[in-house]
């Protein structure tokens, strides 16, 4: 294994293992000595990688714009292109635009040979039936979910009856035709699924439920696997 190959593997290992990663773990994974790991960490830092930590404490790779160009295998590039093309076809307008921007940024960061492969990928995605557009601002709803703030909105059921809801937003799921919000509903006192095309008058409140979103989302997914829409 050349030094370049070893540095690349070291970067990949730092990305994949739970931080902080000790020099002993890295040495075992790469089949080298701990002294070599410390030298390689210094080499990566000199190349622009932001790696926190020190000997005896473990290392954490901090993803940063100053990192060296990314390296992907041919099949990984095809998977990235296919996934981002699918988001362009399936995502709400903000996500679709972001997927296109991400493709351009990825192409700019790759070595020329890989950038050409990405630009002329043999895979793509197309949907003949476009998804139903959300009736509320999906970007605002995503941000409220990340911020762990309760949201309020009007919601129409399958018969068109509208109720006012306030919920703890936990996550969004993109189905073939519609996008749904998985949430804890304060009105029903339980986990519920809400279609974004049936929501209206979205309001982000100042009521925080931090730091419970991740735990609640896991519980919600377990609970709702056999449930139907509200």
Residue 48: pLDDT band with limits 50, 70, 90: confident
147, 139, 47, 161: which is closest to 94 by C-alpha? 139
SS (H, E, C) the chain: CCHHHHHHHHHHHHHHCCCCECHHHHHHHHCCCHHHHHHHHHHHHHHCCEEEEECCCEEEEECCCCCCCCCCCHHHHHHHHHHHHHHHHHCCHHHHHHHHHHHHHHHHHCCHHHHHHHHCCCCCCCCCCCCCCCCCCHHHHHHHHHHCEEEEEEEECCCCCEEEEEEEEEEEEECCCCEEEEEEECCCCEEEEEEHHHEEEEEEEEEECCCCHHHHHHHHHHHHCCCCCC
Q: What are phi and psi of 169, to 5 degrees?
A: -70, 130
Q: Which residue has the higher pLDDT, 214 or 125?
A: 214
pLDDT at 187 over 80: yes
Residue 165 has what pLDDT?
97
Give the pTM: 0.63
- Cα distances (Å, whole numbers) of residue 96 to 81, 91, 93, 170: 13, 5, 5, 21
The pLDDT tens digits of the residues spanning 121-170 come to: 787 888 788 888 899 999 999 999 999 999 999 999 888 899 999 999 99
What contacts 196, CB < 8 A, 6 or more positions away?
92, 134, 135, 136, 138, 141, 172, 178, 179, 180, 181
Least confident of 14-28, 48-62, 134-148, 185-199: 48-62
Buried b (16+ CB within 10 A) or exposed e, 104-117: eebbeebeeebbeb
The pLDDT tens digits of the residues spanning 101-124 come to: 888 877 776 777 777 877 777 878
Find where tokens 């903000």 sit: 94
pLDDT at 37 over 50: yes
């Amino acid at each position: 294994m050349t030094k370049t190959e070893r540095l690349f593997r070291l970067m990949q290992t730092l990305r994949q293992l739970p931080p902080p990663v000790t020099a002993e773990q890295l040495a075992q994974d790469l089949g080298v000595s701990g002294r070599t790991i410390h030298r390689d960490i210094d080499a990566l830092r000199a190349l622009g990688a932001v790696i926190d930590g020190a000997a005896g404490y473990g290392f954490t790779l901090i993803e940063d714009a100053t990192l060296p160009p990314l390296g992907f295998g041919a099949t990984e590039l095809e998977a990235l292109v296919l996934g981002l093309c699918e988001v362009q076809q399936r995502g709400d307008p903000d996500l679709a635009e972001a997927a296109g921007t991400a493709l351009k940024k990825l192409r700019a960061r790759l070595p020329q040979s890989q950038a050409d492969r990405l630009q002329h990928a043999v895979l793509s995605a197309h949907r003949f039936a476009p998804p139903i557009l959300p009736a509320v601002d999906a970007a605002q709803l995503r941000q409220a979910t990340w911020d762990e703030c309760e949201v309020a909105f009007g919601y129409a059921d399958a018969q068109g009856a509208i109720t006012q809801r306030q919920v703890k937003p936990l996550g969004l799921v993109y189905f073939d035709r519609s996008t749904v919000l998985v949430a804890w509903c304060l009105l029903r006192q339980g986990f519920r699924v809400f279609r974004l095309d049936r929501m209206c008058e979205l309001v982000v409140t100042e009521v925080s439920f931090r730091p419970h979103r991740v735990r609640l989302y896991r519980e919600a997914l377990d609970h709702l696997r056999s449930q139907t829409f509200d």
